[in-house]
A = this chain, B = another copy of it.
Amino acid sequence: MKISARNQFKGTVVEVTKGATTSHVKIDIGGQVVTASITNAAVDELGLEKGKAAIAMIKASDVLVAVE
């Protein structure tokens, strides 16, 4: 499957924190850690847990840029 998202970073799940309806999933993409806020249903369906290989995907229109 190919996805239109310009940003696709392969990594490993390092933490899953479940809330009432929303979970936070941290994925180590090689030195950097990406945090995703997704539904509990998605966490269960994808079987996300510490150590599992996963890809973080971000649409280009959702990225902001800052300069110091």
Expressed in whole angstroms, the minimum distance between the Cβ of A40 and any Cβ of chain B is: 9
Question: What is the distance, in angstroms, from A18's C-beta to the closest C-beta of chain B?
Answer: 8
Q: Provide the residues of chain B in CB contact with A30, threshold 8 Å.
A: 31-32
Candidate in A6, A9, A64, A68 with the most chain B CB atoms within 10 angstroms = A64
Known interface pairs A1-B1, A21-B17, A68-B55; A63-B35 also in contact (CB < 8 Å): yes
Contact with B along A33-68 (1 / 0, CB 8 A): 011111101110111100011111111111111111
Q: How far is the CA of A46 from the CA of B64 in the complex (A)?
A: 12
Q: Given contacts A24-B39, A36-B4, is CB(A57)–CB(B67) below 8 Å?
A: no
CA A22 – CA B60 in complex, angstroms? 11
